Amino acid sequence: MSARFANVTTLACKDIVFRRAHATILDRVDLSVSTGEVVSLLGVNGAGKSTLLRILLGLLQPESGVVTLDGRPLSRYRRKDIARLVAYVPQAHVATFPFTVAQIVALGRVPHAGLGRALRAHDYAAIDAALARLDIVGLANRNYMALSGGERQRVLLARALAQHAPVLVMDEPLTGLDYGHQLRMLSLLAGLAADGYAILNTTHRPEDAFSGATRAVLLEKGRVIANGPPYDVIDARSIGALYDVSVDQIDVDRYRFFIPDSSSPSPDPSSC
């Protein structure tokens, strides 16, 4: 059993402004993600990516602007209804109690079954399907706290899939994964989009946007400076400006890679 979504679902924000201690963190930000899309959000640390995710999830209130879910202001939804439509996969998570992997994934069913209520057959089917899709059935009875960071990341995505929410908001989903699992995760995200999920993820690796993302959004100092297909908005010039580095690009079929500019002097290690 796996969730497939036929209806179009869109999570969007318009003219978002957020300030903290008189500093502008987000400045008139527009962003959207719809069914069938994988949108990769790039920017340096402190650019406002995590703040934007929290606003899109309804966990922070912007100073101005609006977040909508299928055209309806997010503020008009109950938290339970938001959880049925939007799932969050954090970058890191530490359980308070020594839950098993299966118990962590089962938390994805709370918006449907209710807190403290017994799960039914369709809930267990959703949990089993999520474990199978992330290839972690063998971890089901393991202590979640004893897992590696990469294994925990896969468990958190399984929890989100068990939630059967059509929108997935993911904060650096490749964190802690080895190279093989990074490639499998990118392939999985593309497959989920084909199933009708809307996926927004943050990443520090521009190359990842060429492995399944339909759009890339570049966030610099709280402003969106580019939004479009990865090949249109991610190149040596934009990456150099965004991260303050000098790079060359290499195009291979539909992929693009970046390497240090060979004409630039080697960086001074003492400045790092």
Does 4 reside within a domain?
no
Helices (H), the chain: 49-56, 79-85, 101-106, 110-113, 121-133, 149-162, 179-194, 230-233, 236-243
What beta strand segments (E) does the chain contain? 10-20, 23-34, 38-42, 64-69, 72-73, 86-89, 167-171, 198-203, 215-220, 223-228, 247-252, 255-260
Supply the CATH number for residue 135's domain. 3.40.50.300
Does 54 reside within a domain?
yes
Q: Is the pLDDT of residue 95 over 80?
A: no
For residue 175, what pLDDT is reported? 83
Average pLDDT over residues 120-125: 94
Helix 179-194 and helix 149-162, axial crossing angle in degrees, nearest 10: 10
Number of domains into which the chain is organized:
1
pLDDT tens digits, one per residue of 53-70:
999 999 999 999 999 999
Q: Please state, rounded to an integer, the average pLDDT across all residues of the chain.
A: 91
Domain that holds residue 124: 10-263
Does 110 reside within a domain?
yes
**Chain-centre distance for alpha carbon 141:** 26
For residue 3, what pLDDT is reported? 66
Does 14 reside within a domain?
yes
Sign of CA dihedral 219, 225, 229, 234: negative
pLDDT tens digits, one per residue of 26-42:
999 999 999 999 999 99
pLDDT tens digits, one per residue of 184-235:
999 999 999 999 999 999 998 999 999 889 999 999 999 999 999 999 999 9
For residue 266, what pLDDT is reported? 56
Q: Is the pLDDT of residue 267 over 60?
A: no
Q: Is the pLDDT of residue 121 over 60?
A: yes
pLDDT tens digits, one per residue of 154-184:
999 999 999 999 999 999 998 888 899 899 9
Does 180 reside within a domain?
yes
Does 5 reside within a domain?
no
Is 102 exposed, middle or buried, given 0-12, 13-18 or 19+ CB atoms closer than 10 A? buried
Strand 167-171 versus strand 86-89 pairing type: parallel
Whole-angstrom Cα distance, residue 187 to residue 108?
Answer: 22
Does 269 reside within a domain?
no
Q: Is the pLDDT of residue 272 over 60?
A: no
